[in-house]
Every structure is written in structure tokens, then in C-alpha cells.
Amino acid sequence: MKVLGLETSCDETGLAIFDSEQINSANKGLVGQVLYSQIELHAVYGGVVPELASRDHIRKLVPLLDELLAQCDMSKNDIDAIAYTKGPGLIGALMTGALFGRSLAFGLGIPAIGVHHMEGHLLAPLMGANPPPYPFVSLLVSGGHTQLIAAKGIGEYEILGESIDDAAGECFDKAAKMLGLPYPGGPNIAKLAETGNPNAYELPRPMLHRGLDFSFSGMKTAVHNLIKDTPQSGGSGNSADSDPQVRADIAASFQHAMVDTLVKKCVKALKQANMTRLVIAGGVSANTHLRETLETELTKINATVHYAPPALCTDNGAMIAYAGFERLNAGQTDDLAVSCVPRWPLTELPALLPAV
């Protein structure tokens, strides 16, 4: 089954074609993908402007589909089904991809399905010939979510813990902003941290001894105070004071505190759920320090960590195509009515029915 995936929940227009018959090949079933980022469009406003995001998705969807089909050497008629992001996300942005996908599927006479963006992230590391088997604990870490989930199958999710305030990615983005680094902050902090000393500054590891929930607002305040009290951070806006080594040390210490907190909670979650496999997903799961620390710490408790290639960790059309395929393959489809959901708890998803 060849599924076209459409991702338009925020500021990336992502399209991809997944072919289940190629799942065993090196491309893991991913025939091709295109991604257009609106980062530059929103940069001057310091955050995503929802109306501008929707308009830009509309401008880009048709040319990106043409580009994707040319890349895959396919025509529209070769597509068997369409999966689009139905939520959670910006309502206007979601509607563009959903209406485009639903109408195209209607025109082509093929099924369509609305996909949960976070289920797309969660399943992305499972794309390929040898996915980690269920059950596993999933750490979902993106710009809007930080959740620990016990996954017993597709749609069988139990939230073990989540952030009571900011998401991990949001915290990376805010720390980056304070250091004068551009959005998205995560990759820029990680880059700066490469030459820094992770133990140069002591930052808090919040809520370590309180269950599996997270809280990052205290860490954000601690970084803010550190940058304010350290003129060499360059955060004062006075570049004459700025010292590259101090900046790198702050980035490394912050990243270390974030990773340390996430890793300790993952270990705790695995023990609590009595599971031995951890799947990490979402933009922050692209972080090399997080991946390496998890590899080391989980080996100590005879557990394993699984993740997607970096390009499939951040928002993309491939994860939507793949999650859509799994549900379509089990016989689920959406009718002609398009209803997008800006807020949508993952636990409301139906469990996957066995394939017929």
C-alpha cells in the first residue's frame, strides 16, 4: 500500500510517500519525502503566527506534492491512500492539510485517514524491518509535549507521567533565545554545547524524586538568572562582554541538566512499568547527548533504547504516512467530514484492530 502523508500542524509543510511493500528495504518503506520549513517567515515575529502559517501551507502544498511525485517517479494515480495530520496543532494549519488531503483522496477515489500528530512521532522509530516489539515505554519529547507513555500496542497508550508546565523542546527554545540563538533552539544549543563543559554550572534537576511528572519552568528561571548574572554569556545584548567559552559552558550545562532529568525519569519509568525497551520520539529525541546518555544508562539496567533517524524525529510527512498506513491496514478510514482537533489526548485514540 502506497500512502501519501501530509503534515501541516504547525510551521513545517511535510509530505512523504510510504510504501508498505518496501518496508524491508534500506529506505524502510520511505519512497520519498519533501519538507518546507516556515522558520524564516516567522522569525521576525519571534514565534509562529498561526494565520501566516496557514496561508503558507496553502501556497506550498500543491508545488510540494508535484515535487514529491517527481522525486518518487510516481503519478497521483499510483497513490493508494492519504493520511493527514488531524491534530493536535494550530487549527487553521491543520485544516489546510486535512482539506487538501481529504479532497484529493475523494477526487482519486481512495481512502483517507486523519492521524494524531503525536502518534506519528511515537511510531516513527518503528518504521522498518525490525521494529522493537511491544510493550515499551515511550518518551515523547517535542516542542509542545513531554510525556512518558506505556505502549502496549498501537492506540494502547497509558500516560505514566508528563510535564506540568513547559515542554522539554520549549525549554531548549527559550534557553536558546536567552543566549541570542535562533529558533529552533534545540539544535543550536546542542551545537554550542559541543565545545562546552557540562559541569561548569550547576542547574536544577526538577521533580526528580516526585513520580514520573516533569516540570521545566524552574530550570528556565535558573538559566535566565545564570545568563543575567553572567555578563560573558552575551545575554545582556552587549557583545563586548561576550565570551564564546562561557556561552558554550552555559549551553552544555543546560543541556546536561535537561538530559540528566529526562534520562533519570526514563529509567524510573522502565522500572515502574517493568519493561526493558524505551522508544524516544519527537524533536528533542534528535539530541545526540540524550541518545548517548540513554545508551549508557540503559545498558546498566539491561534495557535498550530505540529512536528514528534525526530527520524523522522532528516534524515530517513520513511519520504521518506510516502511522496512517498502520491504521488503514487494520481497516480504519475516516469519512468525508473533515474535523480537526487542536487539543487531542493521545489516550483517546482507539486501539488498533487486528489486520484482516
The C-alpha cell of 52 is what? 501566516
Q: Which is nearer to ligand KG4, 111 or 184 (CB)?
A: 184
Nearest CA to 114 out of 135, 141, 94, 128 is that of 94
Q: Which is nearer to Zn ion, 200 or 341 (CB)?
A: 341
Do 279 and 313 form a contact (C-beta atoms < 8 A)? no
Binding residues (CB under 6 A) for ligand KG4: these are 121, 142-144, 169-170, 172-173, 184-187, 190, 282-284, 286-287, 314-315
Q: Which is nearer to ligand KG4, 235 or 283 (CB)?
A: 283
Q: Which amino acid is at 16?
A: A
Q: Which is nearer to ligand KG4, 134 or 183 (CB)?
A: 183
Question: Binder to Zn ion among 315, 316, 325, 338 (CB under 5 A)?
Answer: 315
d(CA 323, CA 22) in angstroms, rounded, equals 16
d(CA 254, CA 193) in angstroms, rounded, equals 9
For the CB of residue 283, give the shortest distance to ligand KG4 in the complex, in Å.
2
Using CB under 5 A as the binding rule, whether residue 13 contacts Zn ion is answered as no
For the CB of residue 327, give the shortest distance to ligand KG4 in the complex, in Å.
19
d(CA 27, CA 231) in angstroms, rounded, equals 48
d(CA 161, CA 274) in angstroms, rounded, equals 15
For the CB of residue 9, give the shortest distance to Zn ion in the complex, in Å.
7
155 makes contact, choosing from ligand KG4, Zn ion, none, with CB < 5 to 8 Å by partner type, with: none
Q: What SS3 state is found at 280?
A: strand
Handedness of CA 71, 53, 122, 115 (dihedral sign): negative
For the CB of residue 140, give the shortest distance to ligand KG4 in the complex, in Å.
9
Q: Which is nearer to ligand KG4, 10 or 212 (CB)?
A: 10
Give the binding site for Zn ion (CB under 5 A): 142, 315
